[in-house]
Structure 1
Amino acid sequence: MANVSVAAEWQLLYNRYYRKPELYPMRWKHVDLARHKVAAAPFGGPVAVIRDDSKIVQLHAESALRKLRLFNSAGHPLADTVWRHPGGRLIGMSWTDDLTLVCVVQDGTIYRYDLHAQLIEPNISMGKECFEQNVADCAFWGNGIVCITEQNQLFCIPDFRNPKPVPLADPMIEEPPRCIAVIEPQYTMSGNVEVLLGVADDPVVLVVEEDGVQRLGEDLLRGPLQKMVVSRDGKWLASFTHDGRLLVTTSDLTGVIIERECESALPPEQIAWCGMDAVLLYWDDMLLMMGPDGDPVHYLYDEPIILIPECDGVRILSNTSMEFLQRVPDSTVSIFTIGSTSPAALLYDALDHFDRRSAKADENLRLIKPSLPEAVEACVDAAGHEFDASRQRTLLRAASYGQAFCSNFQRDRIQEMCKILRVLNAVRNPKIGIPLSIQQYKLLSPSVLIGRLINAHRHLLALRISEYLGMNQEVVIMHWACSKITASLSIPDATLLEILLDKLKLCKGISYAAVAAHADKNGRRKLAAMLVDHEPRSSKQVPLLLSIGEEDTALMKATESGDTDLVYLVLFHIWQKRQSLEFFGTIQARPLARDLFISYAR
C-alpha cells in the first residue's frame, strides 16, 4: 500500500520523524556552487549567484566578465547583469525582507539590486572608517547589516530604509573573530542589534552593542567557538566548539541545552537550525542532523550544498536539486507511520477499501465512529503539508469521505484547505518557483505573496490569486499599469491609453491620477493628460493637471466640481504663472472663478 512507501523515506531522529522531499530538479545550466558566492532568500525566495573570485577557478567556456545571475528556486533564470563595481572584492550578499539583493564590497560600499537585476540608486556607504580600514566580514538580518573592519571595528545599518551607519562599541580585540552572529533587534531587550563574536584563543563570546561590550559564557565554555548560529526566535545559540562538539545554549550563554560530540574536529562549513528541534552541520560531503537525544542522522552528498533556513525546516540547494528537510507533521505521522491504527490512518485506509468496493471500508468507519471528526481534521491537516498534488487529493478525498458520516465537523474546513492548496500549487509551479510550505505561507501572508508576485512581474497570476481569495485587486492593476508605461516607450500614446483603460476599468475606484502621475514622471505628458481625464475625483484630478501644465483644463474641471478650495488652488497657481492681462482674460469666461477672485481681492 501507498502508506508503506510514504514512511519508508523518513528518517528517525530519536523520537521524531524527518523527511526530505525534492521540490525541484534545478533547471539552471553550468552553475557549480563550489565556485560561486550564493545568496538565497527564505520563504521560497530567489537565488543570486556570482563567480567567487577569491577562489582560483577555471573558466569553462564562459566569459571573463563576472555576471550576477538571479534564478527562482527551481533554477529558472530571472535576470542577470555584468558585475562592474570597483571598491574591492565582494565581502557578502543577502536578500532583505522585501527581496532587494544587498551586496557589500571591501571599501564598505553597498550595491542594491531588484529582482530584475536592475541597480537601485543611490548606493549606500558603510561610512568613512569602513572605507579607510576595509570591511573584513559582515552579517545580515531581515533588513539590516553589521560589518567588521580589518581593524576589528564594528558598524551597522539597522534598517536599509534609513541607511545611516551606526558605530558599535569597540570589542578591543587584536585578532579577527573566529565567527560572528547577530541577535535581531526585535529579540533584544534594548531593541538594537546585538553582535556575538567568537574570539580566538578566548573561551568567551563577546556581545557587542552600541553602548558597550559584555563577556558571556566564561564559566561555561572550555575554549573558543569556531562557528555559531542564533535560532529564529533569538532564544538559542547553536555553536561548534574548538574540540569538535555541538553546543546549544540559551542566547545569553547561561544554560546548556545540548552538548554532544561530533564526528569531526574540523569546523563545519555551514551550521543551521532546522525548525526549532534540530541543528544541521555540513562538512564537504556530509550533512549531520542532531537533536537533544538519540543518534544523529547522516545525509551524504557528492556535490556542494547550501542550507537555506525556513521557519519550519531547511531548504537544501545543490547543483542539481532543491530539497526541503522538515520534521514530519504529527497528522502525517498518524496516517502514514507503518502499522498505525490511529483513527486518521483507518479513515485513509477506509477510502482505499471504498475505492476497491470492499466491505472493509464500512468496518473501518464503524471502528472509528466516535473519533471521526479528529480523523477528518488530521487528513485535512496532512493534505496541507503535502507538496505532491496527487497525495493532497487523496487525503482530501479521505477527509470528505469521512465528513459524509460525521454531523458535527465544520463543513468549510475542507473548502478552506482546497483554496490554500490551489494558491500554493500555483506558486510552486517551476516557472514561478516559490515552493512555500503551508506554515511559511501563513507566516508570510497572502498580501505579501501578492506583492512578491507583482514585483517579479507575475501580474496575471497575482490578479487571479487576489480575485480567488477575494482580496483588493487595485494594488495589482496599479503596479501592472505603471510597469506597462515604463516598458512601452515605443508604443504611441493613444494605443497605450486603450491598453491601460481596458485593464484599469476592471477595478472600481482605481486612481487614474496616480497612473497619470507615473506617466508624467516617465516623460509622457500627453498620455498623462489623457489619463487624468478619466479620473472621477476632482480633488485628485485638478492638482495633477496643474503639475503637468494643463492650467486651463484644471480651471474648467475645478469650476465644474463647484469646490471653492480647488478653484482657489487653480487661481493662485495661474496668478503666479501668467501676466495680469492674460490672467484676467482667462477668468473672465468663468463666472464662478471670476466671482471668487473678486471676493478674495476685496
Structure 2
Amino acid sequence: MANVSVAAEWQLLINRYYRKPELYPMRWKHIDLSRNKVACAPFGGPIAIIRDDSKIVQLYAESALRKLRIFNSAGILLSETVWKHPGGRLIGMSWTEDQTLICIVQDGTIYRYNVHCEVLEPNFSMGKECFEQNVVDCVFWGNGVVCLTEAGKLFCVPDFKQIKPCKLAEVGIGAEELPQCMAVIEPQYTVSGNVEVLLGVGSGIVIVDEDEVRFIDEEKIGGVVLKIAVSHNGRFLACFMHDGRLVVMNTEFRDFFQYQCESALPPEQMAWCGLDSVLLYWDDVLLMVGPSEDSVSYIYDEPVIFIPECDGVRILSNTSMEFVQRVPDSTVSIFKIGSTSPASLLFDALDHFDRRSAKADENLRLIRASLPEAVEACIDAAGHEFDVSRQRMLLRAASYGQAFCSNFQRDHIQEMCKTLRVLNAVRDPEIGIPLSIEQYKLLSAPILIGRLINAHQHLLALRISEYVGMNQEVVIMHWSCTKITASLAIPDAVLLEILLDKLKLCKGISYAAVAAHADRSGRRKLAAMLVDHEPRSSKQVPLLLSIAEEDTALMKATESGDADLVYLVLFHIWQKRPALEFFGTIQARPLARDLFIAYARCYKHEFLKDFFLSTGQLQDVAFLLWKDSWELGKNPMGSKGSPLHGPRIKLIEKAHNLFSETKEHTFESKAAEEHAKLLRIQHELEVSTKQPIFVDSSISDTIRTCIALGNHRAAMRVKTEFKVSEKRWYWLKVFALVTIRDWEALEKFSKEKRPPMGFRPFVEACIDVDEKAEALKYIPKLADPRERAEAYARIGMAKEAADAASQAKDGELLGRLKLSFAQNTAASSIFDTLRDRLSFQGVS
C-alpha cells in the first residue's frame, strides 16, 4: 500500500512521471505576491520582496514606506530595510551566484544588497545612455544582466564581480516597436563566449551579441514569438507563438515538437522543468507540456512565482513552496504501481521481514542475481526523497539487501546517510534551504557552508564542516569577525575569552586576521590582545605595527630572528619617532641595533654618526669620518682642484681628535694625524705645481714624484716631516732619477757621500731600465763579490761574472750562474773550468 500511496502523488506525462511535493507551508503573513516584485535565488536561496511601484495597490495595515524584505524559502523573515533609493521605478532585481541582491532602477543605477539587507557600496551605473534613455526591461542570468532602454538599445554587465557595462550591437528598432519578449543564452553556452540576447521583434527573432545582429524570419520559426524560455543547458528554446502554440526547438531553430495551448494570450511566466518539459502559467492555471504534445495542468487560486532549478522548478505561492520535478528512475522502479523490479521486490522484502513473513526470503531469492543493482536503486531513491521517513525506509531496505551481497561497496550507504543528514539539516524551515541532492552536488559543500555563514548560521555550518571532514577555519573566522562587530557592548576582556574559546578549536587559525578585523571595527585594545596569541611572527608583526604597538612588534620581530621582520619594524619606527627616542629603542635590543648599524653603514652615515655619538662610541664616529674622507676623495672633483681637499683634511682631523680621546686607539690617532699632514702637503704641492698628481699617493710616491719633477727641496721636506730613513731615501731618489734618465744627477748623488746601503740601489735601478752602460759604472763599486757576479750575469757579461764568483770562492754560485748562461756554450765552459779549479783546491 505504501507503493500505491507514493505513486498516487505522481502525474504521468507521456512515459515520464512528475511529482509536486510541498517543501514548506510559507511562514510569512499578509504577503500577496501579485502586489510585489519578487526575486528568488536558485539552489534554495533567499526570497527578496518589495512592493511593486508600477502597480496601484491598496495598502492595508502596512506603512506607506516601501520596504525591501528578505525571507528564507520557508517564508521566515531574515532582514528588512526601507527602500530609500532615487532613480525612478525599480525595473528588476535578481540574486547573483554569491547571493548578492542586484536591483536596477529606471535610470540605470545598480544597487546591491547582501542577505542582511545591508547596502553594498559603491553603487554602479549602466552608463550615461541608460540614464538618459531609461531602462524599460532587463533579463538576468547567473552573474550578469542585459538591459533594454526606451530607445531600443541593449546594454550588458557580463559579470557583477567586476561591473563594467558594455553596449551590445545596434538592433535598429525604435521606441514604437520594442520587443514583445527578451531572453538570453548565457556566455558559457555560446560559440563566441559572449552573451547572446534573443528578442521577439515584429514577425521574427533577433539575436544580438557584442559584435553583430542576426535576424531569424517568421518562416523559419513559424510565427510571431510572444514569449521565450531558454533551457538551463543553453541548447533548447521554448517559444510561445501569437496563435497559442508552444514550439520547442534547438538553438539552430529546428523544431522538436509543438503544442496547441487553449489560450492565445502569452503566459505570465514560462520556464523549463529540467530538460523534458516546459511550465507555463496564466492567471489561475499552471500547464506542464512535455514531448509528443502531452500536458498536465494544475489549478491555483493564488499567484505563483517560478524558480527554475537544474532538476526542476520550485513554485512559490502566497501559502506554500512546492517543487515540480521528474520522478527519478530509481524511485519509479520502486514505487510505480505494479512494479516487479528488483528494487521494488527488495523494498517489499523489508516490509515482509518487519512483519516476520517468510515472503521476505522468497523475494530475496528471486532477485539474488540483481541484488547489488536493487541496493543501489534504493540508495539513489533515498537521496532524491524530501520526506525523512521515506528516506529512512529506503535506506533500511538498502541495508537489508546489502547484508546478502558479498561484493557490494559498503560505503555507499554511509555516504548517502552523510549527504542526507546535511540536506535534512539545511532543509529545516528555520534554515530554509530546500536543496535536492542534484542541486547539492552541483552547488558543492564548500559553497553551501559559505552561504550558511553569510546567513550567520555559524553553528550549523561548523557542524556540517566537521561532519563532512572540511576545514572549520573559514566558519570560525567568519563567526569571530561577526561576533566582534555585533558585540560592541561586551568588554574587551570578556569578548576575548569568548573568541579564544572558539578559535582554539581550529589549529593554525589566523588570530592576526581576527585581530585586524577588531582593529577595523575600532577595538584596538581587543586587537592587541588577540594578536598576542598569533604564533606566526610574519602575520603578527605587521598587524602590531598597524595598531601602533611598535615596541611589542620590535620585541616579537627580534624574538623570531627574522631579519626582514626586524627591518620592517625598524623602518616603521624610524619614520615615526624622533632620532634620540629611536636610538633608545634599539639600543636595548642587540639584534635590532646590529641590523640598523649594518644598514646605516651602507646608506645613512650621518644618522649613524648621531647614533654613535648618542651612545658614546667616539671611535666608531672617527672611523666613519675617516671613511667619509675617502668617499669624498672618490669624487671626480677631488682630483682636479682644491675645493674638496680642505673638507677632507678637516674630516680626518676630526677623526684624529676623536681617536685621541680614547687610550685604546693611539695608533689610529697617530695615523689620522699623519694622513691629514700628508694630504695638506700634497694639496700644497698640487697648487704649486698645478698638477693633480699628488693627493692620495703614498709618502714614497710623493717623494719620487717631487724628485722626478726636479723639486728636490719639496722631496727633502717630505723626508724630514715623516722621518724617512736614509736607506729608504736613497732607494727612492735613485729610482726617481733613473726613471727620468738623469744620469748625471745620479752619478753626482752617488759621490755625495758613501751610500748607507752601498751601490746596490744604483745597480738595480739601472738594470731595471735596461741601461747596461750606466750599470757598469756602479757594479765594480759593489763590495760583495757575490753581488758583483750576479749583477754582471744579469747584464750578460759571463767572464766578469765568473771572475767575481771565483773571488767569492762559491761553487754553488758558479753553478747557478752557469744555468743562467745555459744557451752560451763558451760561457758555460768558463764556469765549468772555474768550478773544477775550486773543487781541486778543496773549496765547495
TM-score (norm 2): 0.70
Amino acid of the residue matched to residue 159 of structure 1? D
The whole-number CA distance in structure 2 between the counterparts of 1:54 and 1:142 is 25
Amino acid of the residue matched to residue 561 of structure 2? G
Amino acid of the residue matched to residue 464 of structure 1? R
User: What are the residue-to-residue correspondences of 1:350-499 with 2, within 5 Å?
Assistant: 350-499=349-498
The whole-number CA distance in structure 2 between the counterparts of 1:252 and 1:185 is 16
Which is richer in strand? 1
Amino acid of the residue matched to residue 14 of structure 2? Y
Amino acid of the residue matched to residue 476 of structure 1? V
The whole-number CA distance in structure 2 between the counterparts of 1:210 and 1:368 is 59
Three-state SS of the structure 2 residue aligned to 1:119 is coil
Task: Tell me whether 1:285 sits opposite 2:287 in the alignment.
Answer: no
Amino acid of the residue matched to residue 349 of structure 1? D
Mapped contact 1:188–1:194 kept (Cα < 8 A) = yes
Tell me by how many angstroms 1:252 deviates: 3.5
Q: Counterpart of 2:535?
A: 536
The whole-number CA distance in structure 2 between the counterparts of 1:402 and 1:227 is 50
Mapped contact 2:218–2:224 kept (Cα < 8 A) = no
The whole-number CA distance in structure 2 between the counterparts of 1:354 and 1:62 is 58
Q: For structure 1, list consecutive stretches of 5 or more residues without a partner in the other structure.
A: none
Tell me by how many angstroms 1:294 deviates: 4.7
Three-state SS of the structure 1 residue aligned to 2:461 is helix
User: What are the residue-to-residue correspondences of 1:121-136 with 2, within 5 Å?
Assistant: 121-136=121-136
Amino acid of the residue matched to residue 36 of structure 2? H
The root-mean-square deviation of aligned C-alpha atoms, in Å, is 0.9
Q: Counterpart of 1:308?
A: 307
Mapped contact 2:152–2:178 kept (Cα < 8 A) = yes
The whole-number CA distance in structure 2 between the counterparts of 1:83 and 1:576 is 47
Structure 1 residues 244, 294: CA separation in 2 closer, same or farther (over 3 Å shift)? closer
Q: Counterpart of 2:163?
A: 163
- Give per-residue Cα distances to partners, 1:29-49, cap 9 Å, x unaligned: 000111111110110111111
Mapped contact 1:40–1:47 kept (Cα < 8 A) = yes
The whole-number CA distance in structure 2 between the counterparts of 1:299 and 1:12 is 13
Task: Tell me whether 1:347 sits opposite 2:346 in the alignment.
Answer: yes
Task: Tell me whether 1:215 sits opposite 2:215 in the alignment.
Answer: yes
Mapped contact 1:26–1:320 kept (Cα < 8 A) = yes
Tell me by how many angstroms 1:446 deviates: 0.3
Amino acid of the residue matched to residue 394 of structure 1? M
Amino acid of the residue matched to residue 591 of structure 2? L
Tell me by how many angstroms 1:357 deviates: 0.7
Structure 1 residues 232, 217: CA separation in 2 closer, same or farther (over 3 Å shift)? farther
Amino acid of the residue matched to residue 77 of structure 1? L
The whole-number CA distance in structure 2 between the counterparts of 1:176 and 1:588 is 78
The whole-number CA distance in structure 2 between the counterparts of 1:395 and 1:28 is 33
Mapped contact 2:281–2:287 kept (Cα < 8 A) = yes
The whole-number CA distance in structure 2 between the counterparts of 1:216 and 1:456 is 45
The whole-number CA distance in structure 2 between the counterparts of 1:188 and 1:525 is 52
Mapped contact 2:138–2:148 kept (Cα < 8 A) = yes
The whole-number CA distance in structure 1 between the counterparts of 2:191 and 2:553 is 54
The whole-number CA distance in structure 2 between the counterparts of 1:216 and 1:524 is 63
The whole-number CA distance in structure 1 between the counterparts of 2:577 and 2:218 is 77
Q: Counterpart of 1:230?
A: 230
Q: Counterpart of 1:591?
A: 590
For CA contacts below 8 A with separation 6 or more, give which structure has more relative contact order: 1
Mapped contact 2:259–2:293 kept (Cα < 8 A) = no
- Give per-residue Cα distances to partners, 1:431-470, cap 9 Å, x unaligned: 0010000000000000000000000000000000000111
Amino acid of the residue matched to residue 178 of structure 1? Q
Three-state SS of the structure 2 residue aligned to 1:471 is coil
Q: Counterpart of 2:297?
A: 298
- Give per-residue Cα distances to partners, 1:186-211, cap 9 Å, x unaligned: 11111111111110x32x21111111
- Give per-residue Cα distances to partners, 1:82-135, cap 9 Å, x unaligned: 111111111001010001111111011111111011111111111111111111
Amino acid of the residue matched to residue 183 of structure 1? I
Amino acid of the residue matched to residue 187 of structure 1? Y
Q: Counterpart of 2:325?
A: 326
Q: Counterpart of 1:65?
A: 65
Q: Counterpart of 1:153?
A: 153
* Farther off after superposition, 244-253 or 469-478: 244-253
* Farther off after superposition, 381-390 or 293-302: 293-302
Task: Tell me whether 1:555 sits opposite 2:554 in the alignment.
Answer: yes
Mapped contact 1:290–1:296 kept (Cα < 8 A) = yes
Three-state SS of the structure 1 residue aligned to 2:221 is coil
* Farther off after superposition, 216-225 or 522-531: 216-225
Mapped contact 1:13–1:294 kept (Cα < 8 A) = no
Tell me by how many angstroms 1:515 deviates: 0.5
% identical aligned pairs: 79
Structure 1 residues 294, 361: CA separation in 2 closer, same or farther (over 3 Å shift)? farther
User: What are the residue-to-residue correspondences of 1:15-30 with 2, within 5 Å?
Assistant: 15-30=15-30
Tell me by how many angstroms 1:224 deviates: 2.0
Tell me by how many angstroms 1:216 deviates: 2.4
Aligned residues: 599
Which is richer in helix? 2
Task: Tell me whether 1:198 sits opposite 2:200 in the alignment.
Answer: yes
Mapped contact 2:285–2:298 kept (Cα < 8 A) = yes
Tell me by how many angstroms 1:215 deviates: 1.1
The whole-number CA distance in structure 1 between the counterparts of 2:65 and 2:600 is 68
Amino acid of the residue matched to residue 442 of structure 1? K
The whole-number CA distance in structure 1 between the counterparts of 2:19 and 2:512 is 52
Mapped contact 1:198–1:224 kept (Cα < 8 A) = yes
Tell me by how many angstroms 1:218 deviates: 4.7
The whole-number CA distance in structure 2 between the counterparts of 1:223 and 1:296 is 22
Amino acid of the residue matched to residue 437 of structure 2? I
Amino acid of the residue matched to residue 46 of structure 1? P
The whole-number CA distance in structure 1 between the counterparts of 2:46 and 2:162 is 24
TM-score (norm 1): 0.98
The whole-number CA distance in structure 2 between the counterparts of 1:53 and 1:156 is 24
- Give per-residue Cα distances to partners, 1:132-183, cap 9 Å, x unaligned: 1111100101111111111111111111111111011110012111111111
The whole-number CA distance in structure 2 between the counterparts of 1:64 and 1:251 is 46
Q: Counterpart of 1:78?
A: 78
Mapped contact 1:216–1:252 kept (Cα < 8 A) = no
Q: Counterpart of 2:809?
A: none
Task: Tell me whether 1:180 sits opposite 2:179 in the alignment.
Answer: no
Tell me by how many angstroms 1:221 deviates: 2.3
The whole-number CA distance in structure 1 between the counterparts of 2:55 and 2:470 is 49
Amino acid of the residue matched to residue 336 of structure 1? F
The whole-number CA distance in structure 2 between the counterparts of 1:415 and 1:54 is 52
Mapped contact 2:92–2:105 kept (Cα < 8 A) = yes
Three-state SS of the structure 1 residue aligned to 2:297 is strand
Mapped contact 1:230–1:251 kept (Cα < 8 A) = no
Tell me by how many angstroms 1:217 deviates: 4.7
Q: For structure 2, list consecutive stretches of 5 or more residues without a partner in the other structure.
A: 602-844
- Give per-residue Cα distances to partners, 1:250-283, cap 9 Å, x unaligned: 1242x11122211110100000000011001111
Mapped contact 2:458–2:475 kept (Cα < 8 A) = yes
Three-state SS of the structure 2 residue aligned to 1:299 is strand
Larger CA Rg, structure 1 vs 2:
2
The whole-number CA distance in structure 1 between the counterparts of 2:133 and 2:499 is 52
* Farther off after superposition, 292-301 or 407-416: 292-301
